[in-house]
Amino acid sequence: MGTIEEYQALVAVLDRGSFTGAARQLGRSLQAVSRGVAELERELGVELIRRTTRRLQATEAGLRFYARMRTALADIAAAHAEATESAATVSGPLRVGGPLVFATVYLVPALDAFLQRHPRVSVDLQLSNEFVDLVAERIDLSVRVGELEDSGLRMRRMGLARRVTFAAPSYLAERGRPLHPQDLSNHDCVVRSSARDACQWVYERDGIRESVRVRGRFTASSADVCTEAVARGLGLGLAQMWQVRPLLDKGRVELVLTEFEPPPVPVSVVWPAGRTMPVRTRLLIDFLVSRLGAERW
């Protein structure tokens, strides 16, 4: 059986997307991280990470193993933190950030469970669909969906969020169901104008990416407004699965092009670097990584 250090190496490599980033996160040498992953692959007798000169990518077996190990390591960390702090009562306020719809579906239930476990902790939840300055807003930690570019933040990856194409049943009945991304050129698409490359939708199948230029009669700067417009039949939409799930559950939209989904986006918990972290903050980070890391985005 592999060691915790080897499991940590694999998880860190896939979280960071490189052996160098994993070594920096773990405070180990590049050679030690590479050796740990190689030893794990040798023991399991299966390739976990496929390496090329330009990139690395988890194999199917590697993704399954990674998902289980990430959750297990988070549980171990949470159990260790709880055991070491059992002599003290955790208390005090926490200011937490996150996206609006994500918070409604995922974050509020998780915070409810955390507060029941720690009755002397309070939470002030600040919601925004934009990336806010955590230091300026005095936010202790935040859940973010998307690539992180702020080097002043520390992070722990919780998972990858699916991005899906969807439409209202009424629209599909009138205009038909697209079977290939290139079919989108014959459809109305609802575009989020504030997104990068808003009119260029990228899809992936079997490791091959292709893009298609889309257009439509309705655009908006808000993701929530765009999803509602799609639900009302104004066109096809592209959004993250957690944004669409409430509409799916109510039968207001259906997924299309499920074999050609766009590349997923990371879901992470972030906090300002350089601060002395209170115990309550560390415990909440561990709790969110453990609980939300087990979700299917």
Q: What is the pLDDT along the chain (297 residues), one digit of tens a residue?
A: 778 889 999 998 998 888 888 888 888 888 889 999 999 998 899 999 988 767 788 898 898 899 888 888 877 876 766 665 554 578 999 999 998 878 888 899 999 999 999 999 999 999 987 788 898 899 999 999 888 776 678 889 888 888 999 999 999 999 999 999 999 999 999 999 877 778 999 998 887 889 999 999 999 988 889 999 999 999 999 998 888 988 999 999 999 999 998 888 889 999 988 767 889 999 999 999 988 876 666
pLDDT of 296? 61
pLDDT of 205? 86
Matching CATH topology for 91-156+266-292 and 163-260? yes
Closest CA relative to residue 287, chosen from 134, 85, 88, 139: 85
Structurally, at CATH architecture level, domain 91-156+266-292 sits in 3-Layer(aba) Sandwich (3.40)
pTM for this model (two decimals): 0.61
pLDDT of 100? 83
Alpha-carbon distances, residue 138 vs 68, 84, 93, 145 (angstroms): 34, 27, 12, 20
Per CATH, the number for 4-82 is: 1.10.10.10
Closest CA relative to residue 162, chosen from 244, 48, 220: 244
Distance from C-alpha of 157 to C-alpha of 109, rounded to nearest angstrom? 19
State the pairing for strand pair 219-220/237-240.
unpaired
Instruction: Confirm if 78 and 114 have CB atoms less than 8 A apart.
Output: no
- Angle between helical axes of 241-249 and 223-231 (0-180°, round to 10): 30
Within 10 angstroms of residue 161's Cβ, the number of other Cβ atoms is 21
Which residues on neighbouring strands pair with residue 189, listed in sequence order? 236
Distance from C-alpha of 102 to C-alpha of 242, rounded to nearest angstrom? 6
pLDDT of 87? 41
- State pLDDT tens for residues 270-294: 998 876 788 999 999 999 998 887 6
DSSP state letter for 259: G
pLDDT of 86? 52
Distance from C-alpha of 146 to C-alpha of 131, rounded to nearest angstrom? 10
Distance from C-alpha of 105 to C-alpha of 85, rounded to nearest angstrom? 30
**Domain boundaries in the chain?**
4-82, 91-156+266-292, 163-260
pLDDT of 83? 61
* Phi–psi pair at 47, nearest 5 degrees: -75, 125
pLDDT of 122? 97
Token code pair at residue 162: 């699916």
- Range 163-260 classified under CATH 3.40.50.970: no
The per-residue DSSP string of 182-241 comes to GGGGGS-B-EETTSTTTTEEEEEETTEEEEEE---S-EES-HHHHHHHHHTTS-BEEEEH
Q: How many CA atoms lie within 13 A of 55 on its CB side?
A: 5
| Strand (E) or helix (H) holding 92 | strand 92-98
Residue 149, classified by CB atoms within 10 Å of its CB into exposed (0-12), middle (13-18) or buried (19+), is exposed
Within 10 angstroms of residue 103's Cβ, the number of other Cβ atoms is 20
- State pLDDT tens for residues 223-254: 889 999 999 999 999 998 888 988 999 999 99
* Phi–psi pair at 94, nearest 5 degrees: -130, 130
Instruction: Confirm if 226 and 190 have CB atoms less than 8 A apart.
Output: yes
